[in-house]
Amino acid sequence: MLNQKFFEDMSSKLNEAVANSPARDFEKNARALLAQGFAKLDLVTREEFDVQAQVLARAREQLTALEARVAELEAQRK
């Protein structure tokens, strides 16, 4: 059976080869390009979206309650 040292050496050499390859530069440049593109877009995080969805749900509940109250007051006025 092959020993652990062999796998560690092989892994180290592969990591070094990938780190020094053009693929690594391409990945870095692609990430920078995508980050720049996303920064130009008016995007929100999932957390911000979820918070705003909760705010909207509460506003809808309040609107429904207020509509019911107005209808009740209008009915009393008649």
Give residues with Cβ within 8 angstroms of 52, minimum separation 6.
44
Structure confidence at residue 46 (pLDDT): 93
pLDDT tens, residue by residue, 12-48: 877 777 777 776 777 778 888 888 887 788 888 899 9
pLDDT beyond 70 at 5: yes
Instruction: Give helix 22-40 / helix 4-19 axis angle, nearest 10°.
Output: 60
Residue 4 reports pLDDT greater than 80: no
Hey, where are the domains in the chain? 1-41, 44-78
pLDDT confidence of residue 58: 98
Distance, in Å, from the CA atom of 53 to the CA atom of 57, rounded to the nearest integer, reads: 6
**How far apart are the C-alpha atoms of 33 and 38, rounded to whole Å?**
9
